[in-house]
Structure 1
Amino acid sequence: MADRESQRKGWLEHVLGREYQIVPLAGDASFRRYFRVEDSQRHYVLMDAPPPHEDVSLFLAVRSWFVRADIRVSKMFAEDLSQGFLLMEDFGDLTWAGCCETKSDLEPLFKDGLRQLHLLQASAPEMDLPFFDIARMRRECDLYLDWYLPKVAGLEPTKDQRQQFHNALADTVTIIAALPQVPVHLDYHSRNLMLPAGELPLGMIDYQDAVMGPVSYDLASLLYDCYQDYPEPQRRVWSRYFFDHLPHSLAAGFSGFDDWHQKLRMTALQRHIKAIGIFARLAHRDGKKQFLTEIPLTRKHLLEELQVLGMHQDQFPLLYTEPSNS
């Protein structure tokens, strides 16, 4: 830690000179750390992504693609791939999530968020993106089996239980994988959408894990956000708005809005299974116990999706398993 701090200090002195101030910002679900840096000219955000745990080259490549697609991302002031340091524009502190906390009018945010999501889906990445395929979805669902069940629910699933779990979800992940494919942010939610200087357009962050995946994925992340609980009628309004603005080539993959919205909820279901597993892993492997507080709302979403999709407890018993302390 001390060595990394010395590296960080030396790099900032090289880039900015000795007159600057630095304070830590909240980290994320990775090895990356963030700092707010201020000199006599402006405020910056420093991403500290220590090799070999993190590789900023992918972040930079995706950022360049987003810039070409006219998506709002941070300006870059300095970068050092070998040491894993990026000095970027400071978007400030106001996130979409913050607007939810203050009960601000979310309509302008939804309109802009969906507008930029359409831009992303229409863009042409100049790189080979990983595919969000069945194998990947199965691995993500394994996080639920490996971390949530034993560490939070107190249940160590047997080999037969694990197989039954995947067999029961096979039709769902097959349907999701067969949806029209587009570029996907993969973490498009209220904590990763910011209002630079308190203004629209929204600024995107945490986009380095972009993939090619289902057209429904990013909207499912936003409307069925692990950190928010929007009323279902409001979700349906924005789901229809998004569907009505899809190009024909993508909308043709659905028989109509009801079919689209059902597939959207299937997508949200798979994402919530993964998220619950990730929250448990962050808490019990990485010592980030605060993520345990995100599980109850995510489970609420999951149980609602199971009910709406007709996925009953006798067929999906492990998905109905409650935390052991509840």
Structure 2
Amino acid sequence: MSDAVETLPDGLTEFLEQAGWDGAAIDPIPGDASFRRYFRINRNGKPAMLMHAPPPHEDPKPFLHVAEWLIAQGMRAPEIYAAEAEQGWVLLEDFGQDRMRDWIDANPAGETAAYEGAIDALLELHKRPAGPFPPYDMAAYQRETSLFTEWYCPAAGLEVDVECHAAAWREALGPLLERQQPGVTVLRDYHAENIMLLGGSPGAPQGLIDFQDALVGHPAYDLVSLLQDARRDVSLELEARMLERYCKAASPGEHFAADYALLGAQRNAKIVGIFTRLWKRDGKPRYLDMIPRVWEAMERDLQHPALAPVADWFDANVPQDLRESGGGTIA
């Protein structure tokens, strides 16, 4: 057991002992935007990942539920070795350190191949019937878009028409809700930092992580998450090629481009709100640097005619200079 155990959460040693992993070496992994913490575990040469998702802020039961379903469908979610959900502990398979984003940074010539693998994994997921998860319904979409007016607009010093904002999204998303039936499993945070290259190459199986918030929704949503990535630049050319790859294989219908733009604007507006909240509420200002990238993608999505009601709201409520500066400076 490493010296780092002195600073680790209460109950960790007892959980590992009960799981048969007593005496394991423990290495904390730097955290991200949630209350979850992760640790690399190694006992007698066997690696594992330990997730601590403590209540009341976190609940590992949805993660366990989705993981079980994904594995049953032949998708590559991590195997669960042991869990004590009430205390927030999950011991699971270690997918290694080859995150897609890190691998591309080290192997830029392999970017296209890595994204092709990620698209193909989505195609496989979308061949399966939708999982036993809640629907991505209008209430869910609107809870997310309201984060923009709840967090970003006050931070930017904007007094906006909140009721018209909700009405604009309701009008724009209404047709999409009809088209997304019967729906597919939407992982909701499917991007280059949440995809693991299990064999250390883009041709290897794609390991899925961070899927605990899965819903049943539109197949375009995870494509948007992947190809309009908030955390890394994806060129317009690569985005177009990967969309073409998906559409050629899935034949998603004539309205798919409109739905992709709708969900792009919806997700990006949500992310601007979330990144502002991470700063204002949670004291994590590093996410502010990502807002211009997200905002640029949102502006492109708003140009689609399917977004006309939402675009009109932005024209009336968000000054042009703020929009041109990628969201501007907020305080």
What is the TM-score with the length of structure 1 in the denominator?
A: 0.87
Render the CA deviation track for 1:148-187: whole Å, top value 9, x for unaligned.
1112x122x35xx112222333332223322222111111
Which consecutive residues of structure 2, in runs of 5 or more, have no partner in the other structure? 1-5
Match of 1:189 among 188, 191, 196: 191
Secondary structure, counterpart of 2:117 in structure 1: helix
- Distance change >3 Å, CA 3–CA 95, structure 1 → 2: closer
Structure 1 position 235, deviation (Å): 1.4
Match of 2:56 among 45, 48, 52: 52
Q: Which amino acid aligns with 1:222?
A: L
Measure the CA separation in 2 of the matches of 1:43 and 1:301. Answer: 39
- Distance change >3 Å, CA 240–CA 8, structure 1 → 2: same
2:130·2:184 contact (CA, 8 Å) conserved in 1? no
1:96·1:194 contact (CA, 8 Å) conserved in 2? yes
Secondary structure, counterpart of 2:87 in structure 1: coil
> Which residues in structure 2 correspond to 1:217-296 (within 5 Å)?
217-246=221-250, 251=252, 254-255=253-254, 259-296=255-292
39-48 or 20-29, which deviates more: 20-29
Supply the RMSD in Å over aligned alpha carbons: 2.4
Q: Which amino acid aligns with 1:288?
A: K
Q: Which amino acid aligns with 1:136?
A: A
Q: Look up the match of 1:298.
A: 294
1:16·1:39 contact (CA, 8 Å) conserved in 2? no
Q: Which amino acid aligns with 1:123?
A: R
Q: Look up the match of 1:167.
A: 167
129-138 or 51-60, which deviates more: 51-60
1:36·1:46 contact (CA, 8 Å) conserved in 2? yes
Which consecutive residues of structure 1, in runs of 5 or more, have no partner in the other structure? none
Render the CA deviation track for 1:238-280: whole Å, top value 9, x for unaligned.
1121112116xxx3xx32xxx4223212211110001111111
What is the TM-score with the length of structure 2 in the denominator?
A: 0.86
Q: Which amino acid aligns with 2:281?
A: R
Number of residues of Structure 1 aligned to a counterpart in Structure 2: 312
Measure the CA separation in 2 of the matches of 1:283 and 1:275. Answer: 12
Q: Look up the match of 1:114.
A: 119
Measure the CA separation in 1 of the matches of 2:164 and 2:82. Answer: 50
2:131·2:216 contact (CA, 8 Å) conserved in 1? no
2:131·2:184 contact (CA, 8 Å) conserved in 1? no
Q: Look up the match of 1:198.
A: 200
State yes or no: 1:78 paired with 2:74: no
- Distance change >3 Å, CA 18–CA 64, structure 1 → 2: closer
